[in-house]
Structures are given as structure tokens and as C-alpha cells.
Amino acid sequence: MKRVLVAIAAFVVALLAVEVGVRFLDPQPPGVEGPLLRGAFTLPGDHPVRTKEFDVTVHVNREGFVDREWDARQGGVPRVVVLGDSFVQAAQVPLDAGFGRVLEARLETLLGREVEVLSLGVPGAGTATALGLLEERALGLRPDVVVLGFLVSNDVLNNHPLLETKDDKPFYRLEGGALVPVDRPMALLGPWARGPLWTHSHAWRAGVRTVLLRRESARRIEAGGGLPLDLRVHDPLGGPLWEEAWTVTEALVAELAARCRSQGVTFGVLLFPDAVEATEAGRNAAVARWPALTGWDLGRARARALASFEIRAPTLDLEPAFRRAEGGEPLYFPEDGHWTRAGHALAAEASAAFVAELIGGDLGRDPANHPQRRGEEDQEQGQADQVPAELVPDGRR
């Protein structure tokens, strides 16, 4: 009996040691799960994050987003709301180094006036999530401008229920040209992952998230036919599911633009590149690991997004800016895959003139007010007459 008690005591001590270790080395905030607001960083407060690539404190505001606290709307101060996924959330860098905060500072320098930028970043968000955030959160913040940060590498598959391997987001289908919600059960974390252990134990949350991450990675590779499913967006053969995903995505962008326009809000899109699209190092690493990518045009999906989105709303592709900057300070964390501090700074710098242009005029309120294709020089010149030359992005002159 004594040996049993000693063994139980040793086991309890070991569990406590693991718990203390996880709390110190890899803290795990509980977060919440839901169709719009989800992820580890949703509970208001400061949450330390330590990995081998970064060590930061993530601040979640009262609204449940990684951002500063949002004050009441000030008269005469332009307000920009940025919708997007974990690249907008920016939980890998200090708060003041994230895309939204750097963009705000750059806009104030460009425009010579106070500007507010509010970041509504949700990990894994597709364009359907962005539409929900617009309706339930963003428009209530009374913005002048709404900007969608669109990650080409996975936002298209996020919008199709048969491509997306996680049921934690809303989906739509097209019927007669209209978007119709897909009635699909939300398979969020089951009860086995909840309860007192989830509430109080960092080690339990770390274990659950590790299992889910590995399961999700395996499911994506299986669904991608031996490749990560995300990379299939570049597949030259495409397929009917991908074509459906693209069609729904384009309709969702059009709907975002229309909803904003109906409220007198300017809407624009920023195309965010991942490391595979924007850097030689990222492409070489992907091809080395997945030889089937050899010969694929890894800019194909981005080109389609640009061509289809810019007829619906002003759109700026950030990939050229990232490609030009390659060779300097690292722009992406090699393992995590998100932007570093330098990546966020570059994205904000490359976006600032475009967003300033949206703030400065009625560009984006009506599709007729912006160029529908690059090369329409007469329309470009008309816009240049309305906006100071130094505020016109290089890619749109």
C-alpha cells in the first residue's frame, strides 16, 4: 500500500512539474471557439507567448481581438478597419510591431493627421468569416474604410466546406448567383477537450492543441493527395471543387464591397503573400520537401485573385514589394510561417499609400471609380489627379 501511495505521489509531482514547466516555457491561454471569434487569443488581457522563434506578450482588448483598446469614435479622425486572419492578428510580434499599428503610424505620417486603424484578425478566417465580422462587428465600429487582408495561399480553400478540413467557420454556396449559407454542423472542440482541466491546466491545453494541430496537418496532407492542401491552390489542373471555391470567394468579395458601399464605407483588398509565393527561400524549401511542385507557377493563384478582385474593389498585391525586399532582414518566421517584425513593417509600408488613397477620396465606394484592369491609363490618370503623387502606390501608377 505504501508503494502505491508513493507511486501516486510521484505521479502527481510529475504532473505538477509538467504544469509548471508549460506555464513558464509555453503558456497556453484558454481562448474561445466559435464561428467568428476563435483561437487562443480571445480572452481580454495580456498573454505571454514563448516559442523558439519569438517571445512576446499578446494583448487582447475588451472586444476579444489582438489590438489596442478601441476608443469611442472621434469626429474628424478617419477610421480604418482591417479584416483578416492570423496575419492581421499578428500574435507573433509585439503589439506595436503588428500590421495594424504600423499601418496607423505610417498613415498619420503620410496624411499629416490623426488616423485610427482597428485590427480584426481571426486565425483561420476565410472570406465568409470576414463577411460575418463585417456585419456583426466592423460596421458597428463606424469605419470610413474597411480593408480585407486576403491570404491567397489558404483563404480560397477556407471558403469551401469540402476543401476546408476544419468546421469552425461559416460557409456559403451560390444558388442562382446569390450567396446562401451552408447548413454544416460546427465541429468545434469536443467536450473531452473542455471542462475543468481545459479551464485551469496549461499542460492540458498544450496537449489538446498539439493533438489537434497534428491531426489537422495529417488531414490536410491526405486531402491534398500527398501535398499540403494549401499548396493545391497553385495546382495547374485545378478541379471542380477549387473552381467552386474560387467562384464563391469572388462572390464573397463582391458582397463585402456591396455591403460597405450600402453603408457609405470605402472598401479595398490587400493581397498578402506567404513565404512560398514571395521568397526564393520559401519556394526552394517547398519544392525540396514536395517535389511535385516542380514546374508549377506559384504566382498563378495570386494573379487570378488580383484579376478577379480588382473588378469588384480596389486591390493591391503586396507580393512585388516582398520580392524586392528579399535578401534583407528575414520577413517570415521559417517554422511558424507568419511575418516577422520586418515583414509586418514592410506590409504596412507597402500598403500605406493605397489605404491613404482610400481614405482621401471616394475610391472604392463605387466600382466605376477605380481601374478595373491594369493598363487603363486614362482611368489611372483621373485618380492621380485626385490624390497627391506621393500617395499613389507604385503598383497602381
pLDDT at 377: 33
Residue 224 neighbours by CB under 8 Å, 6+ apart:
230, 231, 232
CB contact at 8 A, 154 and 233: yes
- C-alpha cell belonging to residue 143: 469605419
- Mean pLDDT to the nearest integer, 391-395: 41
- C-alpha cell belonging to residue 106: 505610417
Instruction: Identify the CATH homologous superfamily for domain 2-396.
Output: SGNH hydrolase (3.40.50.1110)
Q: Is pLDDT at 260 greater than 90 in this prediction?
A: yes
Beta bridge partners of 118: 81
CB contact at 8 A, 342 and 330: yes
Measure the CA–CA gap between 274 and 109, rounded to whole angstroms: 27
The count of residues in the chain is 397
Higher-confidence position of 15 and 365:
15
Please provide the average confidence, as pLDDT, over all residues in the chain. Answer: 80
Q: Is pLDDT at 264 greater than 50 in this prediction?
A: yes
Cα→Cα distances 164→151, 159, 217, 277, 322, Å: 15, 7, 12, 21, 27
pLDDT digits (tens, 9 = 90+) for 228-249: 888 989 989 888 889 999 999 9
Q: Is pLDDT at 206 greater than 70 in this prediction?
A: no
- Mean pLDDT to the nearest integer, 336-346: 96
pLDDT at 327: 84
Domain boundaries, the chain: 2-396
pLDDT at 370: 39
Q: Is pLDDT at 14 greater than 90 in this prediction?
A: no
The 3-class secondary structure across the chain, one letter per residue, is CHHHHHHHHHHHHHHHHHHHHHHHHCCCCCCECCCCCCECCCCCEEEEEECCCCEEEEEECCCCCECCCCCCCCCCCCEEEEEECHHHHCCCCCHHHCHHHHHHHHHHHHHCCCCEEEEEECCCCCHHHHHHHHHHHHHHHCCCEEEEEEEHHHHCHHHCCCCCCCCCCCCEEEECCEEEECCCCCCCCCHHHCHHHHHHCHHHHHHHHHHHHHHHHHHHHHHCCCCCHHHHHHCCCCCHHHHHHHHHHHHHHHHHHHHHHHCCCEEEEEEECCHHHHCHHHHHHHHHHCHHHCCCCCCHHHHHHHHHHCCCCCEEECHHHHHHHCCCCCCECCCCCCECHHHHHHHHHHHHHHHHHHHHCCECCEHHHCCCCCCCHHHHHHHHHHCCHHHCCHHHC
- Mean pLDDT to the nearest integer, 91-118: 96
328: phi > 0 → left, psi -120 to 50 → alpha, else beta; which? beta
pLDDT at 227: 83
Write the single-letter amino acid at 197.
L
Q: Is pLDDT at 390 greater than 50 in this prediction?
A: no
Measure the CA–CA gap between 341 and 259, rounded to whole angstroms: 33
pLDDT category, 254, cuts 50, 70, 90?
very high
pLDDT at 6: 63
Measure the CA–CA gap between 397 and 389, rounded to whole angstroms: 9
Q: Structure pTM?
A: 0.77
Percent of residues, the chain, with pLDDT higher than 90? 53
pLDDT category, 32, cuts 50, 70, 90?
low
Please give the angle made by the CA atoms of 80, 81 and 85, to the nearest 5 degrees: 140
C-beta contacts of 179-182 below 8 A and 24+ residues apart:
179/248, 179/251, 179/252, 179/255
Q: Is pLDDT at 219 greater than 80 in this prediction?
A: no
pLDDT at 239: 85
Largest CA distance in the chain: 90
- Mean pLDDT to the nearest integer, 289-311: 93
